Amino acid sequence: MTVYTDLTARALTVLRRGLPKHQWDELAQKIVQDRHTIEGHLREEVPSNEFAGLLPHLRKRSHVQIPITLSNVEELHRYFEDQPVHRGANALSFDGRPKSLAAARSDFPMAAYSAETVIRAPGLIDAMNDPRLLHLIEQYLGCVPTLYSVNAWWSFVAPRPEMTNVQFFHRDTDDWRFVTLFIYLTDVGHDGGPHEVIPGSHSLDGMKRLLKGIPFWRPKMDAAHSFVDDMGEDFSLACEQHFKTEAVQLTGPAGSMHLVNTVALHRGVVPTRTDRLVVWARYGLGPNTNSADLERGPLSVRFVPTQLQGTARDRYVNRLLIEFDRGAF
Ligand SMILES: O=C(O)CCC(=O)C(=O)O
């Protein structure tokens, strides 16, 4: 099972490297058009279109703040404080060994919770399934979204970035089209490890615009290559230098949410004054190279504190995370 999943992930990565960036979206569009023929029963009859006005900003600027705030942040803090963590920005980043939060805080710059811990957190799955949010994401993707990955992690005040790439400018390439929701569980100011994004850099045209006016880059840098080249510390330093007037730091109080197209160049800034606890939820076209199912199979709904009713739409959107029919009957 693992081997086959890994092979699929590798195949997708190889395919993406071989396809020019402008074709990624053409491919996504074909998939999305096909979905329209089969997912009619999953569309909501009365769509909650309240957030539709956010679409142009998201499309143009690669990010948008969602005008809702989680109300149970303190409860979530109590919950997460008691759960084991793993070194890195993802439970699988390093050896995956569980540690207490106190031990991780003193030993590592970042520590993450398992997907199961996130799925079992009070209210999170429901926040990720807010119909207004899902509808916005559906319009952005062009089809009913698949919630394929959840994560929660701490970035601690540290002298330098963690060795994994999340604190260096990079692109995510999980799927042909996808979007990431960040939910801050701590107050995040400029010194609290904000998410930083270079608006417009998710598209080839946007990247071309950003690169105009830059007289030189290291050899080989051009807009198209920037989508498929390996990134790293030097690339990140160059982004920092060249795009310092364009980069935007997403700040906000605990409970605030930002939706980001993380194909755009982005990073988590290393906190200099206060630690950050953040959650992500990723929505795409289906299972992909970053799916929660790479870590674990879906969890029985019996373990998930959720108000979801188990409609056809709920089941579809959450199928990689939650098994609605498993339990004692
Ligand atoms: O910590 C952050 O804000 C960055 C997260 C990130 O790089 C990612 O989601 O790929």
Query: 195 CA to middle of ligand 1, Å?
Result: 7
pLDDT at 199: 98
Q: Tell me how far the alpha carbon of residue 262 lies from the centroid of ligand 1, in angstroms.
A: 8
Atom of ligand 1 nearest to the CA of 260: 9
The residue nearest atom 8 of ligand 1, judged by CA position, is 166
Residue 1: what pLDDT? Answer: 43
Q: Is the CB of 280 under 6 A from ligand 1?
A: yes
Candidate from 22-26, 165-169, 297-301 with smallest mean pLDDT: 22-26
User: With a 6 A CB cut-off, is 63 part of the ligand 1 pocket?
Assistant: no
Tell me the C-alpha to C-alpha distance, in Å, between residue 11 and each of 128, 172, 204. Answer: 29, 16, 23
Most informative mutation of 260, 266, 275 for ligand 1 (most atoms within 8 A of CB): 266
Closest CA to 193 of 91, 74, 80, 89: 89
Question: Does the pLDDT of residue 4 top 70, yes or no?
Answer: no
Mean pLDDT of the chain: 90
Q: How far is the CA of 239 from the centre of ligand 1 (A)?
A: 16
Question: What confidence tier does 295 reach under pLDDT thresholds 50, 70, 90?
Answer: confident
pLDDT cut 70: percent of the chain above it: 93
pLDDT band at residue 29 using 50, 70 and 90 as cut-offs? very high
Q: What is the CA radius of gyration of the chain?
A: 19
**pLDDT at 93 (0 to 100):** 83
- List the chain domain ranges: 2-323
pTM value is: 0.94
- pLDDT reported for residue 228: 76
Which range is least confidently modeled, 86-95, 102-111, 306-315?
A: 86-95
Percent above pLDDT 90 for the chain: 69
| Average pLDDT estimate for 21-33 | 87
Higher pLDDT, 5 or 132: 132
Band of the pLDDT at 213, cuts 50, 70, 90? confident
Identify whether the C-beta of residue 239 lies closer than 8 Å to the C-beta of residue 246: no
What is the distance in A from the centroid of ligand 1 to the CA of 182? Answer: 9
Whether residue 268 has its Cβ less than 6 Å from ligand 1: yes
The string of pLDDT tens digits covering residues 226-241 is: 887 767 888 899 899 8
User: Domain 2-323 sits in which CATH superfamily?
Assistant: q2cbj1_9rhob like domain (2.60.120.620)
Q: Is 80 exceeded by the pLDDT of residue 184?
A: yes
